[in-house]
Amino acid sequence: MAGTTILSIVEEIKTLEQVEENILNINCSSTIKHVGEQVLEALSNQEKQLFSLWRRSDDFPTEIQNFTLPNEIGIRYLVRETYIETSRRRVNMFDEEDNLLPKSQRTITDSIQTVFFEIGERIYVILNSTNLISINKSKKLFGDKLKETATGEIEITEYMIDPDLFYWLFYKHEKDNGILEPRFEVSDIAGFVGNIADENHTIKGNSVDTPSLLVTKAFVSKFHPFRSLHVVLKYQNYTLDFILNDRSECYINPGCSIPNIRIDKQIAASIIIYGFIIPRLYEIFSEDEVWKRDTTKQDFTKNMGLEVIKEIADFHGISAEEIIVILKSEDAKEA
């Protein structure tokens, strides 16, 4: 699956025209290091400089494009590609005789297809990469227009996924036949990643029938935090198959079904997921009064726990009386 990362542009940039004026004209260069002055003087500017710039992405148009979301709302987007040159370590810049290697052999190049889109007078950026090293290299091409924390970390509060959303999706799939609202449903849950105790203890489940797996039910019964969920969502005649994690990264399955598509499917799917699906999920999630009741979560996880006990008991032929004996012995120990 192709992975994407969402970024947020500062509030004063409200249109794609402003993106063109204030971001896409940014480029920078630096001179290679660890090279003597005489060698540098003999090199052409192209050979001794490392460049970072925006460029056209494959054959995608460079003009601002229009796209219609599944709810018939129009959205504008712009496609570019970051191109970053960085030098290899000094030991990999010279041959055995200490001669400087050609630029192509001593330079690392990174490029990321980048989609800017407008929504609610805000600009967001979809990077078709989840590689943190490449993303950090590309951040220089946004200048001071990228929303970041004081420590330089990506700030994207609008798309920070609440782990409770994952449980809610699981609950809707199991208890409401996946129905979120008319013509919008959780068709399938194909996998998950979660933590037990702390972030160093990870559990995974991947199956064509993930919700019925014993490991899934046991995980849900303890209300452990989900880190990611692989879902298949259907909205009208759209089918979106993707993995969403708690870092707002998205891994999109090429099997997504998008009717009447006239643009690249990966771009279309990512715009739909970030521009419509996630915001709409949060709207329904935040308005679900039944889910907000403490008893709803308690009853749901309790029932999952009972199913785990029953499945294990059936497998081993354990009787109800034997379970009662164990519970009584545990109560006696605690007393």
DSSP 37-80: HHHHHHS-HHHHEEEEEEE--TT--SS-EEEE-TTS-EEEEEEE
Q: Which of 1-5, 97-101, 163-167 has the highest mean pLDDT?
A: 97-101
For the chain, give percent helix, strand, coil, nearest 5: 40, 35, 30
- What's the mean pLDDT in 152-163? 72
Q: Is the pLDDT of residue 47 over 90?
A: yes
- What pTM did the predictor assign? 0.87
- What's the mean pLDDT in 112-138? 94
Q: Among 135-139, 187-191, 221-225, 264-268, where is mean pLDDT lowest?
A: 221-225
Q: Is the pLDDT of residue 203 over 80?
A: no
Q: In whole numbers, what is the pLDDT of the chain averaged over residues?
A: 89
Q: Is the pLDDT of residue 154 over 70?
A: no
Per-residue confidence (pLDDT) for residue 190, from 0 to 100:
84
Q: How many secondary structure helices (H) and strands (E) does the chain include?
A: 12, 13
* Selected residue with higher pLDDT from 322 and 5: 5
DSSP 94: B
Per-residue confidence (pLDDT) for residue 201, from 0 to 100:
61
Q: Is the pLDDT of residue 197 over 60?
A: no
Amino acid, single-letter form, for residue 78? L
Residue 87's DSSP bridge partners are 107
Cβ-contact 217, 172 below 8 angstroms? no
Q: Is the pLDDT of residue 276 over 90?
A: yes
Per-residue confidence (pLDDT) for residue 150, from 0 to 100:
66
Give the CB-side neighbour count of residue 235, counting CA atoms within 13 A. Answer: 17
- What's the mean pLDDT in 113-129? 95
- What's the mean pLDDT in 302-314? 86
Percent of the chain with pLDDT over 70: 91
Distance from the Cα of residue 47 to its chain's centroid: 37
Angle subtended at Cα 109 by Cα 107 and Cα 115, rounded to the nearest 5 degrees: 165
Q: How confident is the model at residue 200 (pLDDT cuts 50, 70, 90)?
A: low
Q: How confident is the model at residue 68 (pLDDT cuts 50, 70, 90)?
A: very high
Q: For residues 270 and 204, what is the distance between their CA atoms, to the nearest angstrom?
A: 24
Cβ-contact 285, 168 below 8 angstroms? yes
For 84-102, the pLDDT digits (tens) are 999 999 999 999 999 999 9
Q: Could you tell me whether strands 65-68 and 74-87 are parallel, antiparallel, or unpaired per DSSP bridges?
A: antiparallel
Per-residue confidence (pLDDT) for residue 155, from 0 to 100:
66
Q: Is the pLDDT of residue 149 over 80?
A: no
Q: Is the pLDDT of residue 196 over 80?
A: no
For 253-263, the pLDDT digits (tens) are 998 999 999 89
- What's the mean pLDDT in 110-138? 94
Q: For residues 149 and 225, what is the distance between their CA atoms, to the nearest angstrom?
A: 24
Per-residue confidence (pLDDT) for residue 330, from 0 to 100:
63
Q: Is the pLDDT of residue 289 over 70?
A: yes
Per-residue confidence (pLDDT) for residue 148, from 0 to 100:
76
Q: For residues 205 and 215, what is the distance between their CA atoms, to the nearest angstrom?
A: 7
Q: How confident is the model at residue 234 (pLDDT cuts 50, 70, 90)?
A: very high
Q: Which residue, among 230, 227, 244, 221, has the nearest Cα to 297 in the 3D structure? A: 221
Per-residue confidence (pLDDT) for residue 51, from 0 to 100:
97
| Radius of gyration for the chain, computed over Cα atoms and rounded to the nearest angstrom | 26
DSSP 312: H
